[in-house]
Amino acid sequence: MKALLRSARIAPKKANIIARIVRGMSVSEAQDFLSRTHKKAARLFEDLLASAVANAAHNDRQDPQVLIVKEVVVNQGSSLRRGVPMARGRVRPIRKFLSHISVTLGVRNS
């Protein structure tokens, strides 16, 4: 019951803000929270969570009502290197970070 998103175009620092909040929530709570949050990371997590729920329902025959977000891992991917023109023909480097995001679901203990 896992879903991965590789090389997402968002910095890991920004994605971790949403990851810390969603970790430990039930799937329905997390989907409700993510749909009402105005952050780019929330849109990515919303799609990733839907994929993890579909994987759980199809591969493991789990009911989505009893699932919780067990683990969320955000790792730094590679970085895109860009440049900004500066005075006297110089170029200031800019790094745009990519993230690898992993969501693991578990069954609620009741």
Q: Are 46 and 18 in contact (CB under 8 A)?
A: no
Is the per-residue pLDDT at 52 higher than 80? yes
The pLDDT assigned to 109 comes to 83
Strands (E) in the chain, as ranges, are 2-8, 67-85, 91-107
Query: Tell me: the pLDDT tens digits for 100-110?
Result: 999 999 998 86
The pLDDT assigned to 101 comes to 98
Is the per-residue pLDDT at 77 higher than 70? yes
| Residues in contact with 83: Cβ distance below 8 Å, sequence separation at least 6, in sequence order | 91, 92, 93, 94
Extract the tokens encoding 50: 């839907």
CATH (residue range 2-107): 3.90.470.10
Distance CA 13, CA 29 (A): 23
| Mean of all residue pLDDT scores within the chain | 96
